[in-house]
Amino acid sequence: MIAYRFLTEDDTSAFCHKVTEALAKGWQLHGPPTYAFDHANGTMRCGQAVTKEVEGEYEPGMKLGKL
């Protein structure tokens, strides 16, 4: 199965570290990153979709970050 995650974070180095950690764990980039202003918090936010081929079948409630 192909697992999908959408990583988000404020526009700081923490976002880059989050994506780099996912890549180090075998996730692959899926499409371009996104960048938007979060009006509620007054900050810029980044997002990046990642996918990973994993064994097994999808089950609701599975912890995708642990794959």
Give mean pLDDT in consecutive 10-residue pieces for the chain, a chain of 67 residues. 96 96 97 96 96 92 88
In this prediction, residue 59 carries a pLDDT of 87
**pTM across the whole model:** 0.86
Amino acid identity at 14: A
**What is the chain's alpha carbon radius of gyration, rounded to the nearest angstrom?**
13
According to DSSP, residue 1 is labeled: -
3-class SS of residue 55? coil
Q: Which of 64, 34, 65 is nearest to 49 (CA)?
A: 34
